[in-house]
Amino acid sequence: MSRRSGILEFAVLGLLRESPMHGYELRKRLNTSLGVFRAFSYGSLYPCLKTLVANGWLIEEPGNASEEAVAATLAGRRAKIVYRLTAEGKERFEELLSHTGPDSWEDEHFGVRFAFFGQTSRDVRMRVLEGRRSRLEERLAKMRASLARTRERLDDYTLELQRHGMESVEREVRWLNELIESERAGRDQRDEPAGQDRMPEQGPDRSPEQDRSGDADGLPRHRGGSRPDPSDDTAK
């Protein structure tokens, strides 16, 4: 199985674990929720679905919407097929979710793995985050060494492009450092920030809202700008 088909299998099983979907809806979720699949086609998705069905990890069911079925019949089209995860499919996804090898922190895979961190155990999250950070630190060291060797031969625009690439990697490393620090502190990134579950002491002119700290989404506060998109091509 290729890396591309492997991460597609993981993403499809993960999305169908949330709810059954038909092919068009599934492709839309892959495009919008998981940026790495923005250029994905039906030609790649449906063979994957057929393979998952053949393996017993998915089952095909007719659409539940009666109006949709009637409209399809009148138009001479087949009703949409809904794909549902089986018990064996859930076990397969749990198995894939526990993997922490090098593929899980590569550019193409990391963004997809991160999208399912809410279903991933803390120790697995830590291994994936630390592996990703290590990989980017290696890349950053190579970029710096290359820039030091070739700086004098580069024109201003190529040099600026090299710097931009390095800055993108540096931003992601800082972001990973904050996530790892948060995980080590025992805070799940989807929970409220530490201390927000109790009422802080308030001064006479401060409201509870003013006394609260941290971001509303529970992720650690990021210094130096917004957190990067793990699938951002500039960080590769």
pLDDT given for residue 130 in this prediction:
96
Q: What are the pLDDT digits (tens) for 103-134?
A: 888 887 898 899 999 999 999 999 999 999 99
pLDDT given for residue 40 in this prediction:
65
- By the 8 A CB rule, do 126 and 183 touch? yes
pLDDT given for residue 30 in this prediction:
86
pLDDT given for residue 31 in this prediction:
82
C-alpha 209, offset from chain centre: 31
Neighbouring CB atoms inside 10 A of 91's CB total 11
Token pair 């650690």 in the structure block, residue: 220
Task: Report, as ranges of residue numbers, the positions in the chain whose pLDDT lies below 50.
Answer: 66-76, 189, 194-218, 221-226, 231, 233-236
State the sign of the Cα–Cα–Cα–Cα dihedral 87, 92, 97, 99.
positive
- Residues linked to residue 60 through DSSP beta bridges, in sequence order: 83
pLDDT given for residue 74 in this prediction:
41
- By the 8 A CB rule, do 105 and 126 touch? no
Q: What are the pLDDT digits (tens) for 135-171?
A: 999 999 999 999 999 888 889 999 999 999 999 999 9
Question: Rounded distance, CA 37 to CA 8, Å?
Answer: 9
pLDDT given for residue 200 in this prediction:
43
